[in-house]
Amino acid sequence: MMIEFIPLILFIVICASLLLGFPVAFTLGGVSLIFAGIGAISGVFDLYLLETIPNRLFGIMTNATLVAVPLFVFMGVILEKSKIAERLLESMSEIFGNFKSGLGISVIIVGTLLAASTGIVGATVIAMGLISLPVMLKKGYSEEVSTGLIAATGTLGQIIPPSIALVILGDVLATAYQQAQLSMGNFSAKSISVGDLFIAAIIPGLLLVIAYSFYFVLNISNKNIDFSETKASVSFKNILKILIPPFLLIFSVLGSIILGIASPTEAAGIGAMGSILIAGLNKKLSLLVLSDAVKQTAFISSMVFMILIGASIFSLVFRGYGGEELISNLFDAIPGGLFGSMLIVMILVFLLGFILDFIEISFVVVPIVGPILIAMGADPLWLGIMLAINLQTSFLTPPFGFALFYLRGVTPERIKTETIYKGVLPFILIQLFILCLVAYFPFMATYLPSAIY
């Protein structure tokens, strides 16, 4: 009887090891291989399954979709290192400077663009914290509102396309979708693409941005904010010069995917080249910027692919012990069918978001539960958007939300941690509301892809 629960024990041991601070990639692969070795000695695991590891690694190396990851990372790092985001915020403040909520709206817009270009929560939160927090506090915005807005805007990288999170989720869900169809006897399986998930994320992403803005405007309407008109330090022509290129970059990347002109990988190449051109036009491109961007891109990309390799070994051992059948049986025993199973998965993913990044959750959890939920009737695009918003909320929730740790690292010591926690609570409620809307109205995620294609 204990043998049947070995997959769950494997999962629990890995989570415990991660809590102790061991590296994610090596923990996934190392613990899984230890379990495989113990199982082989005990006669309950077939070591011949490990012979498929080279084929899995080769599949990762030749996966054209995942090439988009380093390209999107490079695009975001170039925009960050060349101070384009900082100039964007200054320009947006010039445009909205005569409104009490002008600076906050500027933070939301620039944070959204930065989130879309980097797709990495930490990078966006740190950048926006360093750039905009001192200005917001100087203008008279409260510490709670300022820190809450910056942390919430930083997590938009999970849901605003194009983002690395959606690239990885799209690739994993495409495989899960095919596995689900094969398990149901459909041997001419359909597929979804990363581009489909990008389009599916547009409506929920825009709703979040609008909801953030609406809350912010209402919150500070009666507050004492210094919004006195100041003379523009740059001309309208220069403002357009700063604003238009990043907007064109994002829209060209998304537009080329939506119109079918380019695949997500090709569009990522357009974005990477476009970011270099923008930095050059703004006279911010240098060998030092390029060198730093390449190094950071290599570091982040290496981390992603090492985690993917470790997750592949974990998935192989997990399935070798019959983990897929165990999870399927557990889901069948959950009352409420698809609704009950989705609720359990959403709670599990939310809690795992406290200790794992979206990369690990995408590579470890989604391949296990994805095929089962899709086979039960969940639309893969709807499932992907639900997971993305859920993870976004998890990264913002005290006391373990990653975004809070990143923001705490760049805020002045006089701002208490409790202040940051209070500041993010309204935005957590907003995200939960949008998550419930998408759960109750799946067409919010599925309508645009079906309408366009």
User: What's the pLDDT tens digit per position in 338-361?
Assistant: 889 899 999 988 888 877 777 778
- pTM metric for this prediction: 0.82
User: What's the pLDDT tens digit per position in 57-105?
Assistant: 888 888 887 888 888 888 878 877 777 766 776 677 666 656 667 777 8
The yes-or-no verdict on residue 125 having pLDDT over 50 is yes
Task: Name the DSSP letter for residue 233.
Answer: S
8 Å CB contact between 412 and 198: no
Tokens standing for residue 72: 């999107």
Kindly report whether the peptide bond that precedes residue 399 is cis, defined as omega within 30 degrees of 0: yes
Q: What is the structure's pLDDT at 31?
A: 92
Q: Which of 226-240, 302-316, 375-389 has the lowest mean pLDDT?
A: 226-240
8 Å CB contact between 172 and 363: yes
8 Å CB contact between 355 and 405: no
CA atoms within 13 A on the CB side of 414: 4
The yes-or-no verdict on residue 15 having pLDDT over 90 is no
Tokens standing for residue 144: 């709670």
Please tell me the distance from the alpha carbon of residue 205 to that of residue 306, in angstroms, as a whole number.
29
Q: What is the structure's pLDDT at 108?
A: 84
User: What's the pLDDT tens digit per position in 141-171?
Assistant: 888 888 888 888 888 878 888 777 888 888 8
The greatest distance separating any two alpha carbons of the chain, rounded to the nearest whole angstrom, comes to 78
Q: What is the mean pLDDT of the chain?
A: 82
Give me the amino acid identity at 432.
L
Q: What is the structure's pLDDT at 96?
A: 64
Q: What is the structure's pLDDT at 208?
A: 92
pLDDT tier, 129 (very low <50, low <70, confident <90, very high otherwise):
confident
List, as one string, the DSSP characters of 201-231.
THHHHHHHHHHHHHHHHHHHTTS--------
Residue 198 or residue 182, greater confidence? 198
Q: What is the structure's pLDDT at 231?
A: 46
User: What's the pLDDT tens digit per position in 402-437?
Assistant: 788 778 877 888 888 888 888 899 999 999 999 999
The yes-or-no verdict on residue 278 having pLDDT over 70 is yes
Give me the amino acid identity at 150.
I
Tokens standing for residue 185: 């006897």
CB atoms within 10 A of CB 133: 22
pLDDT tier, 229 (very low <50, low <70, confident <90, very high otherwise):
very low
Q: What is the structure's pLDDT at 452?
A: 80
What's the mean pLDDT in 229-249? 67
User: What's the pLDDT tens digit per position in 284-323?
Assistant: 778 888 888 899 888 888 888 888 888 888 888 988 888 8
